[in-house]
């Protein structure tokens, strides 16, 4: 098997599409009003599944996290330390929630964390000083 991408379950499809497309630069691959929306970032498929539609399709109910959650993170890399800082400033200005402002960790990574509108963690980082 080959990893094609990954998906997250969402409540508000329109809000989440706008965030990932307009704030983080993901490319939408289809119409916005479908149950499952395919986005792409740097060759990686990223799917948004509307929770209610997925439950109807599977005939099951699921439990979900609410608020900012730490079950997983989506990791985005930046070219260098300065690019991490710039990306952080841009996404915060565009409405992302700040979780951790840019810091340089002891292992040499410049990193920061934001949350999307439904509380999923997103890391932006780089190991390149310049």
Query: What torsion do the CA atoms of 87, 88, 89, 90 make, to the nearest 10 degrees?
Result: 50
For 122, the domain range is 69-126
Angstrom distance (rounded) from CA 126 to CA 111:
7
User: Domain holding 88: CATH number?
Assistant: 3.10.180.10
- Are 22 and 48 within one domain? yes
pLDDT in tens, 52-93: 999 999 999 999 988 999 889 999 999 999 999 999 999 999
Looking at the domain assignment, is residue 28 inside a domain? Answer: yes
Looking at the domain assignment, is residue 34 inside a domain? Answer: yes
Looking at the domain assignment, is residue 63 inside a domain? Answer: no
CA 33 from centroid of its chain's CA atoms: 19
Domains in the chain, number:
2
- Pairing status of strand 97-104 against strand 69-77: unpaired
- Are 73 and 122 within one domain? yes
- Are 15 and 39 within one domain? yes
pLDDT in tens, 11-45: 999 999 999 999 999 999 777 777 789 999 999 99
Task: Give yes or no for a contact between 42 and 32, defined as CB atoms under 8 angstroms apart.
Answer: no
Q: What is the pLDDT of residue 32?
A: 73
- Are 43 and 76 within one domain? no
- Are 49 and 76 within one domain? no
């Amino acid at each position: 098997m080959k990893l094609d991408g990954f998906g997250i379950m969402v409540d508000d499809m329109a809000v989440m599409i706008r965030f990932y497309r307009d704030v983080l630069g993901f490319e939408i691959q289809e119409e916005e009003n479908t149950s499952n929306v395919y986005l792409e970032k740097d060759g990686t498929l990223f799917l948004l599944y509307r929770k209610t539609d997925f439950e109807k399709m599977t005939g099951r109910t699921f439990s979900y996290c609410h608020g900012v959650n730490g079950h997983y993170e989506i990791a985005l890399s930046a070219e260098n330390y300065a690019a991490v800082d710039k990306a952080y400033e841009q996404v915060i200005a565009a409405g992302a929630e700040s979780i951790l402002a840019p810091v340089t960790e002891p292992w040499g990574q410049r990193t920061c964390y934001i949350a999307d509108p439904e509380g999923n963690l997103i890391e932006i980082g780089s190991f390149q000083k310049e």
